[in-house]
Amino acid sequence: MGLMTSGALRKGPLKPVGELLNYSRKYSLWMFQWGLACCAIEMGVALAGPRYDVMRLGVIPFPASPRQADLIVISGTVTDKMAPAIRRLYEQMPDPKYVISMGSCANCGGPYWDSYSVTKGIDQVIPVDVYVPGCPPRPEAFIQAIVMLQERIQHEDPADRWQGKGWEPIVVGQ
Amino acid sequence: MKTRPIVGRAKAGNRSSLASDEITSPGDAVDQDSVADQDSAVVTIDVAELSAEHADLLARFTGEVGADAVIESGVAGRELVVRIEPAAWVSAALACKTKLGFDYLGFVAGIDWLPTPAAGGDDAEGDTSAPVQPKDMTFGVAGSAGRFQVFARVGSTKVARYGITLKADLKESAPHIDSWFSVYPGADWHERECWEMYGFIFDGHPSLRHLYLPHEFEGFPLRKDFPLLAREVKPWPGLVNVEAMPGVDDEEGGD
Amino acid sequence: MTAFDVDPKLYSPLADSHLNVELDTGDMVLNIGPQHPATHGTFRLVVRLDGERVIKADPVIGYMHRGYEKLTEYRTYPQVTTLINRIDWLSSFANEVPFIAAAEQLMGIEAPPRALYIRTILTEMARISTFLLFLGEMGLQVGAITPAFLGFRDREYPLNLIESATGGRFHPNFNRIGGIKDDLPWGWIAECRNTMRKMLDSCDIFEDLVLGNPIFQARTRGIGIIPAELGAAYGVSGSNIRASGVDWDLRRDGEPLLPYNEIDWKVWTHQDGDSYARYWVRLQETRESARMILHLLDQMPSGPIMAKVPRIIKVPQGETYVAAENPLGEMGYYIISKGATGPFRVKIRTASFSNVSIMPWLLQGIYVPDVITVLASLYFILGDIDK
């Protein structure tokens, strides 16, 4: 742990070790699915549908508990009643952890921008790595989000992640 | 293996009337009419006029509930609407269920007849996306005595196109009415929703607690004076002020 | 010596005393959800257990409450149409139809026959795609993964058709007051015929794979029985009540919004009222919908797809209630209009809300593993419960 957080994997003789580590993390993303609304069905199609099949990219959607997950996908409308639960389960995830916000509702409230019970954006509750716009986004957009996140993981320095750097979000399609 | 599939008759109109013994005329009459006026599918409804089947249903309803309990009646779409005395709310439900054959609960809900306030006050300029409603308080079909009303629809699974909507007035200061829970058990959640959204209190309901919203939520969202804060704070984000919305100049609009 | 025979020398009296004392099965409160794989989204169920048996079940809903009825008061009619696609997100097209029909009724506009036919076809297609997901999901809940993959695979075909006709894969927003937005694209009808035949085959596969499976039967037969009268008093509608032997379908018995009476079709019912019956009825209805679409394609009239409507939609003062048979049950809109560009009040009567409200009664006394199959067989969409 100390090795990772010290920044020694960034350069010098241990750089290949850091790259190997990133490469392994990239292709074994254990994903906690937080399916909330319409987007959940599209996420399900992307995961379980034979046509899309995200598992071929090394995303494993099996953990039913956030404690074994590296990635959490918030797909759908987040309500004020739900938001505390999301925060709580996010905090249970081990570091380094990644968040994909899928769909307009999770991004900014979407069509419920003036509702009295909808949280206008999940980024008010937890930090977001990748935003996927769309209402709902197509499964292809979700796959693109996974690919972009994997690129970020490949090129990032684990130390930065631990120190809270490198949070600039990616927006799919931009 | 005890699979006993039963296949209903085909085609509308040839309804196998399960309860035609108890409930005779209206169901069959409705059926034949539905076939007859197929071609003129959507017609403008004259609110004032009760058709024969509505008049018949109203007469039977009045006979069961009592003439002094019925205040006013009208037609909404193809549905008979009856405004009854709040004191007769439960007895009317009981009569509907046991005597008139309305075995199916559609919904229980509330209305707030207060005019919709414009978002951000009356002279709001930012938000032009919300439709402008009339400023005076008018009431719908079957009228109302005041601001709050509770209305409920019951139907029948045995007779085709057979339903009735009941309305009852509530006092604005103390919106109390008896619960339908003992008659239609499905009213449980509907009344909880109605209490949460309007603050109507259903006496005799087993547990009137929050259904949708978190426990710490304050206010009754569906009351017209409950503001949508997002609209107060900022105008509709989708509004791009490039050119005037079509038809702003000519109110009538063109065909 | 089998595994069950115990060597008396190794048999400890201490263990005996522990094993033979009847286990204390006091009340235990089990919280399922709001995020749980078995609850199809954000549904929370608090059950009090005595051992494995449910004493009391209390569903907690509202995790998906978006305030639809309030938001409709701040939207114009076309904007409301966009919004209500997302109530029951699996059958978005079917949600639009009763609302549009109610607005048309108040305005006195009649949609042309071709538009009504296209509406009917797309509604039935939404039903097929919704039920295919159910047919797969239900298998998943009793422990079979294959039906889920099959369901997801076959669902793509009707979704493709909906997308090619409307431009929206999930939320078509295709209905307009007075008709529909566009006519069908070239070649769509032939493609639709092929796909519907594929759907009929797919139903056969589900029938063989799931309904005939002894494990599936053991998990669903005689479990979660809804009596017809109680179900109606709770407001249970759609396939759930037809599985209890009630021969009632708003497509046939409701207002004639769509030309269902011009084609030959059946209403399927089942007498048992259990989880198995609900699966059976939905399977037959999927097949029936595919057949209906084939019929409708044969009889499709030509002509315009839009009636003459004013440029600015203003619905005259009035009230109406229009309900239609959605895939999940009766979906109705009670619209109160005051002559403005938007509705004054819309009461949305959703099917799942009433279907699920019977759950506290239904889950009493059954075993915990059966809770999951009963939940799955009722088939609710969270957005349809919470609005």
Give per-residue pLDDT as tens, C20-41: 445 555 677 787 766 665 556 6
What distances in angstroms separate CA A108 from CA A74, A114, C120, one per listed residue?
12, 11, 35
pLDDT band at B251 (very low <50, low <70, confident <90, very high): very low
Phi-psi region of C62 (alpha: psi -120 to 50; beta: other; left: phi over 0): left
- Kindly tell me if the per-residue pLDDT of C13 is higher than 90: no
Q: Which of A68-82, B143-157, C36-50 has the lowest mean pLDDT?
A: C36-50
- Give me chain A's average pLDDT, please: 83
Q: Running DSSP on this structure, what letter comes out for residue B75?
A: E
**Number of structural domains chain C divides into:** 1
Q: B153 touching C, CB under 8 A?
A: yes
Q: Closest approach of chain B CAs to the CA of C21, in angstroms?
A: 39
Q: pLDDT tens digits for C275-286?
A: 899 999 999 999
Q: How far is CA B79 from the centre of its chain?
A: 10
- Average of per-residue pLDDT values in chain C: 85
Of the partner residues A49, A81, A136, the one whose CB lies closest to the CB of residue C156? A49
Helix (H, G, I), strand (E, B) or coil at C116: helix
pLDDT for A4 equals: 67
Distance CA B128, CA B121 (A): 12
* Both structure tokens of B181: 């829970």
Residue of A nearest to B211 (CA): A81
Q: Cα–Cα distance between C36 and A34 in angstroms, integer? A: 9
Which run of H or E residues covers position C348?
strand C345-349
pLDDT band at B4 (very low <50, low <70, confident <90, very high): very low
pLDDT, position A1: 53
pLDDT tens digits for range C54-86? 888 888 888 888 889 888 888 888 888 888 888
B positions 10-39 inside 8 Å of C (CB)? 10-13, 15-16, 18, 34-35, 38
Range from A45-49, C226-230, C335-339 carrying the lowest mean pLDDT: A45-49
Give residue B49's pLDDT: 58
| Block residue for tokens 């619905």 | C315
Residue C7, pLDDT above cutoff 60: no
Residue B74, CB-side half-sphere exposure with 13 Å CA sphere = 19
User: Is C34 among the domain residues?
Assistant: no
User: Does residue A59 or residue A158 have the better pLDDT?
Assistant: A59
Task: Evaluate if residue C196 carries a pLDDT over 80.
Answer: yes
C-alpha A31 chain-centroid distance: 8
- Closest approach of C340 to chain B, Cα-based (Å): 6
Which DSSP helix (H) or strand (E) runs through C351?
helix C351-357
* DSSP-assigned letters across all residues of C293-330: HHHHHHH---S-SB----SS--PPSEEEEEEEEETTEE
Q: How far is A24 from chain C (nearest CA, A)?
A: 27
Contact B186/C235, CB-based, under 8 Å? yes
Whether C139 shows a pLDDT value over 50: the answer reads yes
Report d(CA B106, CA B220) in Å as an integer. Answer: 23
Please tell me the least confidently modeled range out of B159-163, C24-28, C174-178, C251-255.
C24-28
Residues of B in contact with C232 (CB under 8 A): 103-105, 157
**What does the mean pLDDT of chain B come to?**
72
What is the total residue count of chain A?
A: 174
pLDDT at A165 over 90: no
C-alpha–C-alpha distance, residues C361 and B206, integer Å? 14
Average pLDDT over residues B124-143: 70
- DSSP category for residue C367: B
Range list of H helices, chain A? 2-6, 15-26, 38-48, 83-91, 104-108, 139-155, 158-162
| A11 has pLDDT over 60 | yes
Substitution target from A116, A118, A119 for chain B, most B beta carbons within 10 A: A116
Of B61, B7, B56, give the one whose Cα is nearest residue B30.
Answer: B56
Domain-embedded: residue C24: no
Is position C233 within any domain? yes
pLDDT higher than 70, residue C263: yes
Domain range for C216: 57-385
The per-residue pLDDT for A2 is 67
How much is the pLDDT for B16? 38
pLDDT class of C194 with cuts at 50, 70, 90: very high
Indicate yes or no: CB of C319 within 8 angstroms of CB of B76.
yes
Chain A interface, best mutation among B193, B196, B213, by max A CB count within 10 A: B213
pLDDT band for position B50 (cuts 50, 70, 90): low
Q: Give percent of chain A above pLDDT 90.
A: 2
> Hey, which residues 94-133 in chain B have their CB within 8 Å of chain C?
97, 103-107, 109, 111-112, 116, 119, 129-133
Q: Name which of A142-146, C12-16, C315-319 the model is least confident about.
A: C12-16
Mean local confidence (pLDDT), C263-267: 88
Domain boundaries, chain B: 2-254
* Residues B197-235 pLDDT 10s: 998 989 888 888 888 888 888 888 888 888 877 777 766
Residue to mutate among C65, C130, C169, with most A CBs inside 10 A, is: C65
Q: Which of A31, A41, A47 to mutate to test the interface with C (most CBs of C within 10 A)?
A: A41
Residue in B4, B42, B214 nearest the CB of C109: B42
List all chains that touch chain A, counting a touch as 3 or more CB pairs closer than 8 Å: B, C
Q: What is the mean pLDDT of residues C222-226?
A: 88
Q: Where are the alpha helices (DSSP H) in C207-305?
A: 214-220, 228-234, 239-242, 250-253, 275-299
List C318's β-bridge partners, or say none: C337
- N-to-C CA span, chain B: 63
pLDDT of B132 higher than 70: yes
In this prediction, residue C39 carries a pLDDT of 57
**Least confident segment among A132-136, C16-20, C218-222:** C16-20
Using the Cβ of A135 and the Cβ atoms of chain B, whether some distance falls under 8 Å is answered with: no
SS3 per-residue string spanning A71-89: EEEEECCCECCCHHHHHHH
Let me know if residue C128 belongs to a domain: yes
Q: What local confidence, expressed as pLDDT, does residue B238 receive?
A: 63
Q: Which residues of A touch C153 (CB under 8 A)?
A: 49-51
Q: For residue B231, which residues of chain A lie inside 8 Å, CB to CB?
A: 114
Q: pLDDT per residue over C320-361, tens digit each?
A: 899 998 998 899 999 998 888 888 889 999 998 999 889 888
* Residues B165-176, mean pLDDT to the nearest whole number: 88
Rounded to whole angstroms, how far apart are CA atoms C140 and C377? Answer: 11
* pLDDT over threshold 50, residue B175: yes
8 Å CB contact of B228 and A115: yes
CATH 3.40.50.9100 correct for B2-254: no
In this structure, what CATH number is given to the domain that contains residue C98?
1.10.645.10
Residue/partner pairs of B244-250 with CB below 8 Å, 24 or more apart:
B245/B128, B246/C311, B246/C312, B247/C311, B247/C312
Q: Give the pLDDT confidence score for residue B1 in this predicted structure.
A: 37
Tokens of A106: 């999770």
Count other C-beta atoms under 10 Å from residue B4's C-beta: 11
Q: Is the Cβ of A11 closer than 8 Å to some Cβ of chain B?
A: no
Q: How far apart are the CA of B174 and the nearest CA of chain C, in angstroms?
A: 22
Give the Cα separation of C327 and C90 in Å (integer).
Answer: 9
Q: Give the pLDDT score at C12.
A: 45
Counting other chains too, the contacts that C361-367 makes at CB distance below 8 Å and 24 or more residues apart are C361/B185, C361/C230, C361/C234, C362/C224, C362/C226, C363/C47, C363/C54, C363/C57, C364/C54, C364/C55, C364/C56, C364/C57, C365/C53, C365/C54, C365/C55, C366/C53, C366/C54, C366/C223, C366/C224, C367/C52, C367/C53, C367/C54
Look at A80 and B230 and tell me if their CB atoms are within 8 Å: no
Chain B environment of A113 (Cβ under 8 Å): 230, 236-237
**Which residue of B lies nearest to C64 if distances are taken between CA atoms?**
B212
Q: Among all residues of chain B, which has the CA nearest to that of C243?
A: B5
8 A C-beta contact, residue C286 and residue C278: no
Check residue B131 and give its pLDDT: 76
Residues 6+ apart with CB under 8 A from A16: none
> Is A136 in Cβ contact with C66 (below 8 Å)?
no
Residues C8-18 have a mean pLDDT of 46
Tokens 């566009």, residue? C182
Subunit contact C311:B116, Cβ cutoff 8 A: no
Interface contact B157-C334, CB threshold 8 A: no
Q: C203: distance to nearest CA of chain B, Å?
A: 17
Q: Of residues C335 and A40, which shows the higher confidence score?
A: C335
- DSSP E strands: which ranges in chain B? 6-7, 70-76, 79-84, 104-112, 148-155, 163-170, 176-178, 201-203
Comparing CB atoms, the residue among A40, A116, A138 nearest residue C41 is: A40
- C interface mutation test: which of B133, B154, B158, B192 has the most C CBs within 10 A? B133
